[in-house]
Structure 1
Amino acid sequence: MNISDNIENLKGVGKKTAQLLNKLNIKTILDLILYFPTDYETLSLNKKISNCEDKEKISLECLVESINKDIRVKGNMIISSIVLNDGETTFIAKWFNQPYIKKGFLVNNSYNLSGTIKIQKNGSRVLMNAKILGRDKSGNSISPKYQLTKGLTNNFFYKYTNEALNSFVINENLPQELLSKFSLCSLDFAIRKIHKPDTKEELKLATDRLKFQELFAYSIKIGVMKEKRLLNNQGIPFKIAPELINLKEKLPFQLTEAQSKAVREILIDSKKPVAMNRLLQGDVGSGKTVVALIVIFNAIFNGYQAVMMAPTEILAKQHYLDFIEILKDFSVRIAFLASSTSNKEKISIKEKLKAGELDLVIGTHALIEDNVEFENLGIIVTDEQHRFGVNQRARLYNKRVNTDVLVMSATPIPRTLSLCLYGDLDVSIIDKLPPGRKKIDTFWFSKKEKGKVYDLLSMELKEGRQGYVVCPLVEENETMELNSVQQLSEELRSNNLKGFVIESLYGKMKQKEKDAIMERFKNKEIDVLVSTTVIEVGVNVPNSTVMIIEDAERFGLSQLHQLRGRVGRGKYKSYCYLIADGKSQVTKQRMETMVKSNDGFYIAEQDLKIRGSGQVFGIKQHGDENFMLANPIDDMKILICASEEAKKIMKSAKEEDILLKTSIAQRLESEKKLICFN
């Protein structure tokens, strides 16, 4: 058996189970091993079985007195059992159709077990379907929790991962010198303990190692991208087009000093005979798009084609309409290309691009497709950099030979962090908002006070304004008790906002549905849009003046700030209402920061201070850049260390360092996960 084998090759995994695992994108044994817990539960072990009720879930420490023979009963069911003692009472633990379970126990050894109590007719208590737990120094047990699909349980999932880990040794793939320098544990230890930690200390060791692994591999990938770019550094030396003066006169507003500075930096960079790779960073509403428009305009009037990409079709369409309006007096040929574009139109646009009959195409990631060709591509602009990521960036670099690239981000992050995350890019920053941009008044309400919040929204709606309501989850989640979009919409229609037009918008909707709803919202046919964070990057609706964020404690500061930036875009006073209970100090600090400031860069700094290096027991899987554990914002210290070490490897002429760099780069070409790269 090989670690890259199909998951069905693993003992105990049948066709039905494999189908369930496939839903989690677990197709190989390696996928299973790298599907980490999303959280950990700490359970007290101080309870005795004699004090337990029927069907009560408990955790306790007990000694194995004896191991019974398996019993096969009617229907071919196998009952396995062992005799245990918790220091006061001797009792039985039972399992059904799990004969392998007894292999984990030895007579006269103590174990921490978690299971469900069943009280028999004679009053005796049986521990059903127990599992072995780890234990920390305080005597508490640690139980991993996985994000699973219906039909899979934590117990069964743990059984499969245990079987896989017992079948393989995970080879080390970082130099011992590096491990010693940062006191990192082995990769084998880390992967085993992330699934089954005996102590909090072991979990932290495992987590730190795997985060370093991901961030180191990411940094090598960034370095290799930059290396490839510099090998072919012949760029287009653009001139400053005289038509820029005419464009400036046609703009509906005057550029701020911060915008003008960014334009100067980018145009100076574009004049160089090397290909430009630049990040334009600016707060929500700082005017990045008009800077991009000027740079694109200059490339077009130098005789080249341009591309502008946005992460969502809604945003791409907004850019398209804005550019059409501003450039209507210039002979610029513009097209829109996205997944919703008809096949006939797509073919026509692609033919025109190849023939040089279009100057500018605006769209979504469909523009990265291999069959999109250009006659004379001069510049690529991508909006909302954090939505594209390093993999998409790499595809862009491969598409162009000597084309300039400008990427934009509305996520303010400290410069130190941006140098690590975007090491393949130079950075320009717009650090001031346009003077006409009104401050958004932000207020924090407890969940008991939410009625007041919707009364305030109702007042704005009666004045002819519109509003957003954001909640974190689409489907109901009993454990988190968070409001779903559908449920909240119905509540508002029936109660607080009766008589107003309310629509729902969420990630799983078809693109056409999303676009239709957003178009109606823009046209003032909808009063309130109840949504998940799909409006975080959305259209500009100047008439929308209220942003309500339900369960605001479930969002990070930067995300809250991004959401708030959807309002305050017109001439009307705007408001953001955060609904959250301040039970934790972190929640309190976040809400107070939002109320205090509208400055995205200040908020980003506070976010780092509040979150520090992340909470070990709050691990969540992170999809961006295929990180499973690492979060560049939370784990900034680890990222900086990993980035520095990666730079040393990139510069080194040692044979072993060149081999390491090459092996990581080759692995990441075929394997998206950043942890096991050889």
Structure 2
Amino acid sequence: MDGSLPAKTPSPRAAASPAFARQRSLDDEVRFVKGVGEALAQVLAKLNIYTVFDLLMHLPRRYEDRTHFRTLSQVVPGEAVTVHGSIVAVDNVSPRPKMTITKVIIDDGTGTLELVWFNQPYLKDKFLKMRGQDIVAYGVVQEAPYHYQMQTPEWEPLTDSDPLAAHRIVPVYPLTEGLPQSRLRRIMYNALQTYEPILVDCLPADLRRRLNLMPFAEAVRNAHFPESMEHLERARRRLIFEEFYLLQLHIAQRKIAETTGAPGIRFRIDKEVLWRKLHEIVPFDLTNAQRRVIEEIWSDMAREYPMNRLLQGDVGSGKTIVAAAAILACVENGYQAAVMVPTEILAEQHFIVLSRLFRKLGIIVDLAVGSLTQRGKKSVRERIATGITQVAVGTHALIQEGVEFRKLGLVIIDEQHRFGVLQRAALREKGENPDVLVMTATPIPRTLTMTLYGDLDLSIIDELPPGRRPVKTHRKRAHQRAQVYEAVRKLIQQGQQAYVVCPLITESEKLQVKAAEELAKHLQEEVFPELRVGLLHGQMKPMEKEEIMERFRAGEIDILVSTTVIEVGVDVPNASVMVIEDAERFGLAQLHQLRGRVGRGAHQSYCILISDSNGEDANRRLDVLVRTNDGFVIAEEDLRLRGP
């Protein structure tokens, strides 16, 4: 790596207005924006911001109306609010070893509020230097003995010297380490000052008039620095409409290209032979939904044009067996199949399952992942190139240079939303118009599916295998944590295993890892000293992750503390309970995916959501999860709560 930023696809608006466009372009590298430079450009790259257009499309995640603050005397427990006040007291307290709580009291003249941070002792010195200064804080108000407090609020200094942060509707952006809100606001303002004149409309003028849509340049400006809440709503409507409008045009073009382009592989499908062989390797009866979907896939494979199908199935619905049926048809015709997944843990798991399934038929399955030794990589590449490997399972390593297939006929992409369009296309180009099956265990509402994946034919597995018990989900408060952990201990004493998912921290990967390490240490030393506690997080090397998962599968770890790295594909049938800490921090679909890691064995399984949140949205999310195990019901509810 030389530190240079990757090239980007030109923005559709890059060739903009006449004289000015010769000097400036929306495809200019972001480092040329006033206030950025080389060093900050590297920081912005972590947010996938490389060009001016990327920057302007990095929209706020929420807004604070700083023309009217809620007074501290008016705040109500359970609601998320923006408040301000001057710092009147700062202290660090240590209720137990290795636990530091930073407390800051602010006063706005009508009342006081306590702001609380955990295990960030350095904040004390920072706030002491600001004593007497005004700050803005955003978070959920909670009731504490004798006073109200906000735990781990977002905050920043409030100063009249920064006109972008005071006496107006203020944008609050998604950030990364090394980039404060105030600096990103200033950069965004500078970019608009310079580049707004070349923001041109791609929507026809008559369409804009008919639908009363704001001009594009005005919409972008108001999306970042709204003149009023009404202007903000109109700007959002305009940008959302354009996004879907362009998406639908692109999907229509892609659908036409799929059916009018070069012909694909016309597989010979002998259903009698295929069903007989499938029954040989699958030791149980398939569901009606699985049978229906397999028939749909085989019919596609028999056509002249390449299959391009999306397979949706809830967690545990049996998508792997359906994929195996497609692979079997491909290999029976003398072609190779490639299965690409987002993580090495999932690749290893698919490799194990498919190897066991196909061993009876003599079908050779190989694993291609980045953590192989150089000798291992070379061996696998040679086997794929010569056709010895009939099924290649891997991560993005499958699309790297040097991986050549002898006769690729089928591409299967699992958890397709984790891959970009270019990655999917790169794998497809390893063959001559191979069939493509993309799979997801994240149910998507039908209306949204038609919008996002209108170029794909759709198959849905809407039935779970018989005998599988639904996971029982319960919500508990923080003060009930000891009871929850005692129930976990009893299940482990019966020979079962458990996951504990640590709170989601989106601001920093380092903080996420630190939180996971501290939780694992706390559970091992203070809660379950007699049990074996393991730790899994995204910063571990692939070999370390696989070693931990193998020990967990083998029963050498009783409790696995993990971040969301286990969200997709991890399958340990003996794990029958999952505890999710601070569950309100996770999205509904993410919670459903996490819950899908249990309920895979013969035992009754449980998912415990620990949350003290009183926020309306959080409560509705958690209530839905407690109420139903149906991923499609959850997806519809998620769409209602969050929007598309």
Structures share fold, TM-score greater than 0.5: yes
Q: Is the aligned partner of 1:239 residue 2:261? A: no
Query: Residues 224 and 373 (structure 1 numbering): CA distance in 2 closer, same or farther, change over 3 Å?
Result: farther
For the Cα contact (< 8 Å) 1:446–1:581, is it kept in 2? yes
Deviations 1:414-470 (A, max 9, x none): 222212211121111111100121111111112222222111111111212111111
In structure 2, give the amino acid aligned to 1:533.
Answer: T
1:185 corresponding residue in structure 2: 214
**How much does 1:521 deviate?**
0.9
In structure 2, give the amino acid aligned to 1:131.
Answer: P
1:33 corresponding residue in structure 2: 56
Q: 2:162 aligns with which of 130, 138, 153?
A: 130
**How much does 1:132 deviate?**
4.3
For the Cα contact (< 8 Å) 1:482–1:551, is it kept in 2? no
For the Cα contact (< 8 Å) 1:470–1:532, is it kept in 2? yes
**How much does 1:603 deviate?**
1.8
In structure 1, give the amino acid aligned to 2:633.
Answer: Y
Q: Is the aligned partner of 1:200 residue 2:232? A: no
Deviations 1:46-99 (A, max 9, x none): 799xx9857899999xxxxxxxxxxxxxxxxxxxxxxxxxxxxxxxx9xxxxxx
For the Cα contact (< 8 Å) 2:535–2:562, is it kept in 1? yes
**How much does 1:476 deviate?**
8.2
Pairwise mapping of residues 244-643 of structure 1 onto structure 2 (< 5 A)? 244-473=275-504, 484-609=515-640, 611=641, 614=642, 634-635=643-644
1:224 corresponding residue in structure 2: 253
Q: What secondary structure sits across from 1:558 in the alignment?
A: helix
CA distance in 1 between partners of 2:41 and 2:305 (Å): 50
Query: Residues 517 and 35 (structure 1 numbering): CA distance in 2 closer, same or farther, change over 3 Å?
Result: same
For the Cα contact (< 8 Å) 2:504–2:586, is it kept in 1? no
Query: Residues 59 and 368 (structure 1 numbering): CA distance in 2 closer, same or farther, change over 3 Å?
Result: farther
In structure 2, give the amino acid aligned to 1:383.
Answer: D
Query: Residues 488 and 42 (structure 1 numbering): CA distance in 2 closer, same or farther, change over 3 Å?
Result: farther
Unaligned runs of 5+ in 2: 1-22, 72-83, 89-104, 110-133, 135-154
Q: What secondary structure sits across from 2:409 in the alignment?
A: strand
Q: What secondary structure sits across from 2:171 in the alignment?
A: strand
Give the aligned CA root-mean-square deviation in angstroms: 3.2
CA distance in 1 between partners of 2:385 and 2:194 (Å): 53
Q: What secondary structure sits across from 2:162 in the alignment?
A: strand
CA distance in 1 between partners of 2:631 and 2:38 (Å): 50
Q: Is the aligned partner of 1:2 residue 2:24? A: yes
Q: 1:147 aligns with which of 174, 179, 182?
A: 174
**How much does 1:546 deviate?**
0.4
**How much does 1:346 deviate?**
2.3
Deviations 1:361-395 (A, max 9, x none): 11112222354222222111111222235443333
Query: Residues 178 and 529 (structure 1 numbering): CA distance in 2 closer, same or farther, change over 3 Å?
Result: farther
Deviates more, 1:320-329 or 1:235-244: 235-244
Query: Residues 129 and 302 (structure 1 numbering): CA distance in 2 closer, same or farther, change over 3 Å?
Result: same
Q: 1:167 aligns with which of 194, 199, 208?
A: 194
Pairwise mapping of residues 53-64 of structure 1 onto structure 2 (< 5 A)? none
CA distance in 1 between partners of 2:625 and 2:66 (Å): 35
Deviates more, 1:224-233 or 1:303-312: 224-233
**How much does 1:240 deviate?**
2.8
Give aligned-pair identity as a percent.
Answer: 42
Q: What secondary structure sits across from 1:512 in the alignment?
A: helix
For the Cα contact (< 8 Å) 1:194–1:207, is it kept in 2? yes
Report how many aligned residue pairs link the two structures.
Answer: 544
**How much does 1:287 deviate?**
0.6
Deviates more, 1:4-13 or 1:501-510: 4-13
**How much does 1:255 deviate?**
0.8
CA distance in 2 between partners of 1:290 and 1:52 (Å): 59
In structure 2, give the amino acid aligned to 1:325.
Answer: R
**How much does 1:290 deviate?**
0.6
For the Cα contact (< 8 Å) 1:59–1:115, is it kept in 2? no
Query: Residues 142 and 247 (structure 1 numbering): CA distance in 2 closer, same or farther, change over 3 Å?
Result: same
Q: What secondary structure sits across from 1:328 in the alignment?
A: helix
Superposition TM-score, scaled by structure 2 size? 0.77
In structure 2, give the amino acid aligned to 1:189.
Answer: E
Bigger RCO (CA 8 Å, 6+ sep): 1
2:14 corresponding residue in structure 1: none
2:113 corresponding residue in structure 1: none
CA distance in 2 between partners of 1:160 and 1:546 (Å): 47
CA distance in 1 between partners of 2:391 and 2:162 (Å): 63
Query: Residues 462 and 181 (structure 1 numbering): CA distance in 2 closer, same or farther, change over 3 Å?
Result: farther
1:158 corresponding residue in structure 2: 185
CA distance in 2 between partners of 1:400 and 1:151 (Å): 43
Query: Residues 22 and 559 (structure 1 numbering): CA distance in 2 closer, same or farther, change over 3 Å?
Result: closer
For the Cα contact (< 8 Å) 1:33–1:164, is it kept in 2? yes
Superposition TM-score, scaled by structure 1 size? 0.74
Query: Residues 8 and 557 (structure 1 numbering): CA distance in 2 closer, same or farther, change over 3 Å?
Result: closer
**How much does 1:565 deviate?**
0.9
2:129 corresponding residue in structure 1: none
**How much does 1:596 deviate?**
1.8
**How much does 1:173 deviate?**
2.0
CA distance in 2 between partners of 1:268 and 1:481 (Å): 46
Unaligned runs of 5+ in 1: 61-92, 94-113, 118-126, 136-140, 615-633, 636-678
Query: Residues 415 and 10 (structure 1 numbering): CA distance in 2 closer, same or farther, change over 3 Å?
Result: closer
Larger Rg: 1
Q: What secondary structure sits across from 1:525 in the alignment?
A: coil
**How much does 1:262 deviate?**
1.1
For the Cα contact (< 8 Å) 2:338–2:411, is it kept in 1? yes
